[in-house]
Amino acid sequence: MKIRYLIAAPVAVILIYVLYVILSYDRIPDMQALSPVSGTAEEAAETGRAYTVVTQNCGFGAYSPDFTFFMDGGSESWAESKESVIANTDAAAEEVLSFDPDFVLLQEIDTDSTRSYHVDQSERMAGFFEGFDRVFAVNYHSAFLMYPFTQPHGASNSGIMTFSRFPISSALRRSLTISTGFSKFLDLDRCYSVSRIPVKDGKELVLYNIHSSAYGGSDEIRTAQITQLTEDMLAEYKKGSYCVCSGDFNHDFTGDSAIVLGGSGTGEFGWAQPFPAELLPEGISRCIDYDDESLVATCRNCDVPYGPDCKVFVVDGFLVSDNVSVLELHNVDTGFAYSDHQPVVMRFQLGE
């Protein structure tokens, strides 16, 4: 009898936990209006003027060069300490500010997560970008993950954040297609935000900030997400809007960076499949004409610490509508000092 109880007890605990995860799961509704926070003294944007935009995945403040992540084949599930989260968050903000940006699009900004010691990175980032309007969109939130057993990943609350030196008149959160199977509990919610900035010619600059699926994505899901995004951009472009999209696409953005930067085949890492350029409609372009003499990686696989054996890729970048002229484009080498991603900087001009 005692043996039966000894077996039944852990089974019951597992069943209760699985039930908790399933019942606590819910998707954030699509077309959710966001509330921009005003902070800018600038007027509307204008044509014929050069602007600088920076995109940076901040990696929830965990990814110092020696950090490895359990879902990439590494060992850690939390950042090293609360202090390291703060230090890495601040370093990311300072690096981005060094480019004197007009617009900033950040991903993987935690607000209240176990893995980042409940540091509110959105509030910390806001302190660095005084004089900017800002918008925050929750990308995913999750129940308490009990794995790895030695240090459970815990609950995650993470989002994407957009800053603008010019007024953001309105903003929207668009839910992306995700898996409907069990993998949805791994990849969680996914979205992009849409921020509207008035232009003096009566049109709008529309900024899209995206962090698409990684671990739970399939070819079908990846196709659906890119199609949804680019069709949205195309509709805006046809209305006369100027469209700029940036973020972490979780694709090999150039299509061959895995090979160019380290000889990895595209099939070696399931989350870094070639960007489906064939899905881009006429009027929307991928920005890959870099000014650098050699290709610079924007992301590392975190199965090992950063070093010669670390596989690197380009997964972060920009899409623009044809009425936006790209003047300069750089992937910035930071030595992966504060994140598993590196910033991408673009100077652009709105067409007349």
Write out the DSSP string of 186-210.
Answer: HH---EEEEEEEEBTTS-EEEEEEE
Domain 29-350: assigned CATH number? 3.60.10.10
User: What is the edge-to-edge ordering of all strands in the sheet holding 50-57?
Assistant: 133-145, 154-164, 103-110, 50-57, 344-350, 324-331
Cβ atoms of 288 and 295 within 8 Å: the answer is no
Cα separation of 55 and 126, whole Å? 16
Cα separation of 157 and 328, whole Å? 34
3-state helix, strand, coil in the chain (%, to 5): 25, 30, 45
Q: Which residues pair with 199 in a beta bridge?
A: 45
Write out the DSSP string of 135-157.
Answer: EEEEEEEEEEE--STTS--EEEE
Q: Which of 309, 315, 318 is nearest to 340 (CA)?
A: 315
Q: Each residue of 177-192: pLDDT tens digit?
A: 876 665 555 556 789 9
Q: Which of 246, 176, 152, 266 is nearest to 206 (CA)?
A: 246
Q: What is the pLDDT of residue 221?
A: 85
Q: What is the pLDDT of residue 332?
A: 98
Report the SS3 class of residue 39: coil
Contacts (Cβ under 8 Å, ≥6 apart) of 319: 208, 229, 230, 233, 243, 244, 245, 246, 280, 284, 285, 286, 287
Longest dimension (CA), the chain: 82
Q: What is the pLDDT of residue 266?
A: 47
Q: Each residue of 138-162: pLDDT tens digit?
A: 998 777 787 788 888 888 999 999 9
Cα separation of 54 and 3, whole Å? 60
Q: How would you write the pLDDT of the chain (352 residues) with one tens digit per residue? A: 566 656 666 656 556 555 545 555 567 889 999 999 999 878 899 999 999 999 999 999 999 999 999 988 899 999 999 999 999 999 999 999 999 999 999 999 999 999 999 999 999 999 999 999 999 999 987 777 877 888 888 889 999 999 999 999 999 999 998 766 655 555 567 899 999 999 999 999 999 999 998 755 578 888 899 999 999 999 999 999 999 999 999 999 999 999 999 865 444 566 678 999 999 999 999 999 999 889 999 999 999 999 998 999 999 999 999 999 999 999 999 999 999 999 999 999 999 6
Cα separation of 66 and 336, whole Å? 10
